[in-house]
Structure 1
Amino acid sequence: MSVGAATRAAIADLNARFAWALDSHNWTALRDVLTADVHYVSVGREFHDADSVIASFQARPATRTTRHGLGNLLLRDGPQGSILGWSSWHTFASNDAAARDVPLFMVADFQDTYTSDANGAWRIAERIIVPVFRNDTLAPPSTPGVSR
């Protein structure tokens, strides 16, 4: 069954809010787009709740600057009222706040499951990030206990 226009727009907005939350280091806004028990997998890291996901981003240096964008959002109805999503994301990143010539850090496929809460607001319940192209020299500096 196809996803309706209003749901598609809400999930596109949800993904934009995720990107802006990461890029602006707005952890409250990031919490608002994730379920409390989100399953999040990215480049050797796996988390099973929103607090752990947010802590992983908070551990990065304050000088780290990113900009995320996405395209090719494909949505399908999933089990038990969920929506399954696939999209292509790109990330520009620098660990130096003064950098001006910033190459592409990563292009990745995102495999998502979205669920709606009691108020009908969509949240990310699962996000699995599969890198397609990645420039490891632009990865965040290592954090103890966290792989790059």
Structure 2
Amino acid sequence: MSTTSRPVSATPEQVWSVLADGWLYALFVVGAARMRDVDAGWPAVGTRLHHSVGSWPLLIDDTTEVLEVEEGHRLLLLARGWPAGQAHVEIILEPRGTDTMVTIVEQATSGPGALIPKPVQDVQLHVRNIETLRRLAMLVEGRTR
């Protein structure tokens, strides 16, 4: 299980407003190339983001589904990206003074990605999520200026 954290210069509410807008995910999630649709009610349990992964012209259409939500604090997602597989992705927001500590906990749960040895998998996920959190911070902080 890979855990990556980063402070964001914004309130949890400001970070949540970006997470609650499913159309923005392709702007910060590494590997997401475009959004095709967002279910009404996102991010309620059972709603999905319909996205494409990869690089044009080799795009694969897939989905990410909300498994659990604590509004303003936590999302647990089932991210699909076949043929690589699927993963549980937990995003946690914790207030830290005037900032928010954002943590991503990710683990491949099925498919070829889950067969990668755990230490190698964790390093790959951590490196990807460092960039995901950097992009998220820039997006949130840019909107709050």
Q: Tell me which interval the TM-score lies in, with the shorter structure as reference length.
A: 0.3 to 0.5
Q: What is the TM-score of this pair, normalised by structure 2? A: 0.36
